[in-house]
Amino acid sequence: MNQLELQGLLRNTWGRWDHKSIEAILPANDQCEYQPKFYSAPGRASQVVAAGEYASGQVTIPAGSFIYALSHLDPAARFRLQITDLSLGHQLFNIPIENESIDARPWYLPELYPVVAPGIFRCEFWNTLATSGRVQIILCVAEVRG
């Protein structure tokens, strides 16, 4: 993955990369590349949550990276999610969002979210099932190769 693939202007209507445009300008861009990394929260021990209960986890992402998408792996899960950048005290969403907006395919953020030092993010989950359920979010991140 290179930084051109992260630019919203080089995506088509469906959010997929316009490979022909990227290939045309790629030789001039090879100096600074990013690699995809995936961070999961909460930890395995905290992923099963009782009905109506709350769980949280923290993820540390290297400064200089960009969060570009979110996903989760359990289609039967139902929960609300809020991600807070503890470095800035900034919440990614105005209100906690339903995980039904996100699926196993990456759900691309409208804009890249830059990570600043120390790069600590709190991920909060509220189980909305009437039974215990699994809560998990995967942060899709572009890290500078190095």
Average of per-residue pLDDT across 117-146: 92
* Domain ranges, ordered by start, for the chain: 1-32, 35-144
Higher-pLDDT residue of 115, 6: 115
User: In angstroms, rounded to a whole number, what is the distance separating the alpha carbons of residues 12 and 29?
Assistant: 20
| Mean pLDDT, rounded, for 18-29 | 55
* 95 neighbors 14 (Cβ within 8 angstroms): no
Tens digits of per-residue pLDDT, 41-98? 998 888 999 999 999 999 999 999 999 889 988 888 899 999 999 999 999 999 999 9
Report helix, strand or coil for 36: strand
| Angle of CA points 99, 105, 108, to nearest 5° | 75
pTM (global) more than 0.85: no
Mean pLDDT of the chain: 84
Selecting from 2.40.128, 3.90.550, 2.60.120, 2.30.30, what CATH number does the domain 35-144 have?
2.60.120
